[in-house]
Amino acid sequence: MDTPFHCFADLFAQLGLPSGETDIRAFIAKHSPLPQDVELWDATFWTPAQAALLRDEFVEDADWAEAVDQLNLALRAPA
């Protein structure tokens, strides 16, 4: 069975966030770097629904897990 591929912009859209390249860059710049001791989904800037989606998809290694991992890495890098 093929696993669907979700691009980074699709994840932002799924989270209800603006998903244009400039919007994504601005979001990451605004919220980076996320401290290493804070799980991605525990960051204070997510709504409860966004945090749940990120946590569930990552922990369950679900369809969105790869895009969630990309977001996690992007937010860990210095702005």
The domain total for the chain is 1
**Residue 38 lies inside a defined structural domain of this protein:** yes
**Residue 2 lies inside a defined structural domain of this protein:** no
Q: What is the pTM of this model?
A: 0.88
pLDDT (tens digit, 9 = 90+) per residue, 51-73? 999 999 988 888 889 999 999 99
> How high is the pLDDT of residue 63?
85
**Residue 67 lies inside a defined structural domain of this protein:** yes
Separation CA 4–CA 27 (nearest Å): 25
Structure token pair of residue 71: 């977001």
**Residue 21 lies inside a defined structural domain of this protein:** yes
**Residue 3 lies inside a defined structural domain of this protein:** no
Separation CA 57–CA 68 (nearest Å): 7
**Residue 14 lies inside a defined structural domain of this protein:** yes
Q: What is the CATH number of the domain that holds 69?
A: 1.10.10.1130
